[in-house]
């Protein structure tokens, strides 16, 4: 029962040896979010353009 010192080390966080990996993941996440936001803006821009085209009065309907 006195051998809990081995288990206590497993519960403690590991040293920051993987900070390079964390930095890569953070950069990839940031780039991914920027790309997704740009895609969403492009989709919203296209939707707004087609909505304005469809809502424009059609002068040929009465002829």
Q: Tens-of-pLDDT digits for all 63 residues of the chain? A: 555 555 555 566 666 668 999 999 999 999 999 999 999 999 998 877 776 666 555 666 565
Phi (first) and psi of residue 7, to 5 degrees: -75, -30
Domain boundaries, the chain: 21-51
Distance CA 51, CA 26 (A): 37
Q: Please give the structure tokens belonging to residue 60.
A: 């040929």
- The predicted pLDDT at position 2 comes to 55
Give, in degrees to the nearest 5, the angle at Cα 19 between 6 and 12: 20
Length of the chain: 63
Tracing tokens 């590991």 back to the chain, one arrives at: 14
- The predicted pLDDT at position 49 comes to 72
């Amino acid at each position: 029962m006195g051998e809990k010192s081995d288990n206590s080390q497993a519960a403690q966080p590991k040293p920051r040896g993987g900070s390079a990996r964390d930095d890569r993941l953070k950069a990839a996440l940031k780039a991914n979010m920027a790309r997704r936001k740009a895609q969403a803006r492009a989709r919203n821009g296209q939707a707004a353009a087609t909505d304005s085209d469809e809502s424009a009065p059609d002068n040929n309907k009465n002829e």
